[in-house]
Chains A and B, each alone.
Chain A
Amino acid sequence: MKQFQYVKASSNAGVITAISKPGTKIIAGGTNLVDLMKRGVTAPDRLVDITHLPLKSINITGKGLHIGALALNSVVAENALVVEKHPLLAMALKAGASPQLRNMATVGGNMMQRTRCTYFYDTAMPCNKRAPGTGCGAIGGINRMHAIFGTSSKCIAVHPSDMCVALAALDATVIIAGPKGQRTLQFTEFHRLPGEHPELDNHLATGEMILSVEIPDNNFAKNSYYLKVRDRQSYAFALVSVAAALDIQNGVIRGARLAMGGVAHKPWRLFEVEKSLIGKKPTEENFAQAAQLAMQGAKAYEYNAFKLKLAPATIAEALKHASGLV
């Protein structure tokens, strides 16, 4: 890998100043960035280590549950507040990566991880995300793991995170600090679709860093489930995953949250399907019907057509689990 400078920032302001310079990247757990550097996919001149900054806390605020950007994935997954108030997030975290990786990976880093598209990783292959203008290797290539929603002619990569699928479903917000101060973004608006600029994964501007995420209180704790379908039982990215959360009162669905992973360049929230479930009874038939609605606009490629069938099946199955039918 290219020789780089390593600095430790002593404050958020220091980080923001440092990353405003081109060629500088934040390093936290490093579980993805170091791999990318070794493979020559990214070659920063300078790394800013933020792991000692006080951004690890998990606590209740007036706006809900606050989770610091540096909270470790393993710590969040086991945190009593998370398990009690948002078990969906704990389930999603535990479905991700491996225990060793979760012990290093942070919440902010999880959000910032790059796609695992193999064309992105191999510098001998074309990839518009890694090297804009070189073409997309996956379109017309081996695209079994790739997106069926929100693709563009430039990129069909998927966002690999499980945690983000749960946060998207749970209406989380992202607290961001930058040269112009703090701002807040809906979690569902944090990541972007590839469009004409697949090199951009999210809406963070130059010099901005993630401080925390916040999850508003909800009534989903009793009826939520994260279902991840993958080629092996651990340490595999999702073929399709579904975060399902239901608010069921007196046998009727009063609120629903659904998001999918493994199908798009960002966590794929299913707003229309959620609406369609309101007022319905939690039955297998209703879930199957809703799941079909989710597939509007889906587009498959040579090797991922199975997702057109697997995705609705997984949605229905996740809803069955969430509602206690399974």
Chain B
Amino acid sequence: MEEAIKTAIPSSADGMSRIDGRAKVTGKAKYAAEYRPDGLAYGVLAGSTIAKGTVTAIDIARAEKAPGVLAVVTHFNSPKVPGHQKPKKPTKKAGPILVFNDNVIHYNGQPIAMVIADTYERALYAASLVKATYNKQAHDTKPPSDISMGIAPWGKDSVRGEADAWKNAPFKLEQEYVIPTEVHNPMELHAIIAKWDGADKLTVWDKTQGTQATRDDIAKAFNIPAANVQVIAKFVGGAFGSALQVWPHEIAAILGAKLVRRPVKLVLHRQDMFTSVGHRPYTWQKVGIGATADGKLVGITHEAVGQTSTYEDFAEGPINVSKGLYACPNVTTRYKLLSLNIGTPTWMRGPGEATGAFALESALDELSYQVKIDPVQLRLINYAKVDPENGKPYSSKYLDEAYKMGADQIGWENRRQEAGAVKKDGWLVGYGMGGGMFGAYRDSATVKAVMRADGTLLLQTAVTDIGPGTGTAMVLIAADIMGLPADKIKFEMGDSSLPNAPMQGGSATTATVGGAVYDACTELKQKFQKLIGNGGTDNPDYAKILSDKNLAGLDVTTQSSLGADAQNKYSMQAWSVHFTRVLVHPATGVVKIDKVVSVADSGKVISQKTARSQLIGGAIGGIGMALMEDAIIDHRYGRYVNNNFADYHVPVNADIPQMEALFVNKPDSHINAMGAKGMAEISLIGMAAAVANAVFNATGKRVRDLPITPDKLI
């Protein structure tokens, strides 16, 4: 295994740029909405303007007569989607929105009509002419404010050791923490082009994190063989979890294309991104935490209530961090969902854990001031050497090294334990830190590796790259095994017709698909070595061997294993810690992030450049969570009011200082042959607390309801 790790890590190519970087910045990269099949028509959705009730009538007469309109689809006239069947047994909740299927309105902005026209502008105009009348019912969009609200999706509380033991500790605190609804808001809007190639044959260009899962869901909905559906997602302009499932607009476009017998393109508007493709749920949390005078944790009780929709449950794990991050003998967790008239939430980068880490890592910081122990030291005192939940050894954990690297780099020694003690040029200066963890998953994937006559290697698999640089990392893995320069390797992906790969999600792609690339390349190389006999050579001349043996090419298709044994034996986690230095203006409450050091312990780093980008990107997402992001609903109407990029703030360049991304970069010898774990989620997890803790250190003001806007600090 050690041997394998050494070979798998390319050294010369550490600084390699993205293989698709040039295509992306020159506009050559084609995203879902950019294809132009002949006869393309344009769909625009009209949404409900009430949050609960039924549609009694929809006047489409004016829209139908508008110039260029090909069809106006509503639940009154929509052809049935064959796979859209109501569950036979009545369940408590209706299940996912079946678009144009019935007259029930579950949330404000729910699609009620689609106009298809020969140009986008005409479709947009005609959609504005669609007028619905409703039988309005009283809605509820108000978020949870305590644990008594909501229903526990997993039944009972989870109790390790003694319940609520923190209450008996000499040093203790109990506080409430709130994160508002956040929206993924990738720069690329959700978009689909659907083109029927026959009665039961379909090509779809789609923004998706999984071409094959999308293919299967579409095939099921339209009751056609999965083999007849091709889903193409060559480039994805960010997704962060919002494209892990098939949403109503995708079904609508496919339905519309069938109806008008033309390919249909449907691009969501920015305001639809708030209602129709999921979000990070508003979550209320309460943490009780107690410690002895020497900082040993006695107990943690972590309660959380997240919002979900009235028609579908979405549950995640905000309380997981409290179970796993520290060696604490007594941990009680309680999680509930509150059903509201909103669209169903979904996974958003660092799902659950990012929410939970804000609460836990803030509480730990508050505790550090009580017990008067440095926050880093407090974490080291409670360092978990084995998984506290099940006693399993970690497959690898160097979080203590990450703490040290981060503390050294930020200049932690300059931090003063008392809050509000440091001033510079009229600004208050504060230091903060916060960390997190996320399960290091590994799935199975299939890769086809083809050595072609000219000595170039083609790798094929259906996986998508939503931005982390998957293709780049895969090429680096292959380059090292095959002994080929990166420019002789082509990685083909983003097409459901390619060999099987799971969705890009849960930080599992590098570990999963990377493992398959590793296996396929290793096997292919062995094939060549066998061909030349005598044990072969370390660096075969592939083109020459093929030519000598009169072969047009040589290929292998390999399915990587799940590695279930190792996954059972070890607790596999990736770890992060973020350090920040912030400046707060005492009079105006303006917060400036002055320096960020993020450290990842995610096994061996495959691609230095893209890993750095990913860690920085996640940390910036955490800055947004800490200081800006807040999707606001006017509860009188149950409708989002800041559903655009001018009013829903994410950080811009001016908000971001020099970001430092550090890696422990030690292989996990159990997860896969490369020793690499994913790092998408951990890049964000813990960052919001690192900022909030620094703001407290600067000002003495503890903000427990995000975002930390200037008005909360004056």
Contacts and interface: CB of A to CB of B under 8 A. Distances in A.
A113 B391 CA distance: 63
Interface stretch (B280-288, B339-347, B521-529, B633-641): B633-641
A3 B121 CA distance: 8
Mostly helix, strand, loop or mixed at chain A's interface? Answer: loop
Contact of A232 (B122, B636, B641, B655): B655
Q: Among A38, A119, A124, A234, which residue has the most Cβ atoms of chain B within 10 A?
A: A124
A317 interface: yes
Interface in B121-139: 121-122, 124-125, 128
B627 A124 contact: no
A233 B652 contact: yes
A227 B587 CA distance: 12
B628 interface: yes
A55 to B, nearest CB: 27
B642 interface: yes
A310 B711 contact: yes
Contacts of B587: 313-314, 316-317
B712 to A, nearest CB: 8
Interface stretch (A18-26, A58-66, A77-85, A136-144): A136-144
A309 interface: yes
B711 A125 contact: no
Contacts of A229: 588-590, 710
B641 A122 contact: yes
B108 to A, nearest CB: 8
B145 interface: no
A314 to B, nearest CB: 6
Given A119-B641, A309-B714, A3 B636 contact: no
A193 to B, nearest CB: 24
A116 interface: yes
Contacts of B651: 232
Nearest to A40: B128
B125 A239 contact: no
Contacts of A144: 711
Nearest to B67: A3
Interface residues of B, number: 36
Mostly helix, strand, loop or mixed at chain B's interface? Answer: loop
Given A40-B128, A124-B639, A140-B636, A232 B627 contact: yes
A244 to B, nearest CB: 14
B592 interface: yes
B479 to A, nearest CB: 38
Interface in B599-628: 627-628
A1 B588 contact: no
Contacts of A227: 588
A316 B426 CA distance: 14
Contacts of B585: 317
A130 to B, nearest CB: 14
A325 to B, nearest CB: 10
A118 B641 CA distance: 6
B228 interface: no
Contact of B714 (A137, A141, A310, A316): A310
B49 A124 contact: yes
A125 B121 contact: no
Interface string B655-676: 1000000000000000000000
Contacts of B634: 125, 137, 141-142
B702 interface: no
Nearest to A116: B646
A235 B49 contact: no
Contact of B652 (A122, A232, A306, A309): A232
Interface in B542-587: 585, 587
A278 interface: no
B699 to A, nearest CB: 14
Contacts of B703: none
B401 interface: no
B654 interface: yes
A42 B373 CA distance: 60
Contacts of A298: none
B629 to A, nearest CB: 10
A252 interface: no
B713 to A, nearest CB: 10
Contacts of B590: 229-230
A144 B359 CA distance: 26
Contacts of A205: none
Interface string B81-108: 0000000000000000000000000000
Contacts of A40: 128
Contacts of A231: 627-628, 649, 709-710
A236 B639 CA distance: 22
A310 B655 contact: no
Contacts of B632: 142
A116 B644 CA distance: 11
Contacts of A235: 646, 652
A218 to B, nearest CB: 27
B647 interface: yes
A2 interface: yes
Contacts of A239: 710-711
A123 B269 CA distance: 15
A232 B654 contact: yes
A141 B634 CA distance: 6
Nearest to A145: B647
B12 interface: no
A116 B647 contact: yes
Contacts of B414: none
B653 interface: yes
Listed from nearest, the 8 A-B pairs whose CB atoms lie closest are A306-B711, A233-B654, A234-B654, A124-B49, A118-B641, A313-B587, A229-B588, A233-B655
Given A116-B647, A306-B710, 4 more contacts: A313-B587, A313-B714, A314-B587, A314-B588
30 contacts: A1-B121, A3-B125, A38-B124, A40-B128, A98-B652, A116-B647, A118-B642, A118-B647, A122-B641, A125-B641, A141-B634, A141-B636, A141-B641, A229-B588, A229-B590, A231-B627, A231-B709, A231-B710, A232-B651, A232-B654, A233-B652, A234-B654, A235-B652, A237-B646, A239-B710, A306-B711, A309-B714, A310-B588, A310-B589, A313-B587
Interface of A: 1-3, 38, 40, 98, 116, 118-119, 121-125, 137, 140-142, 144, 227, 229-237, 239, 306, 309-310, 313-314, 316-317, 326
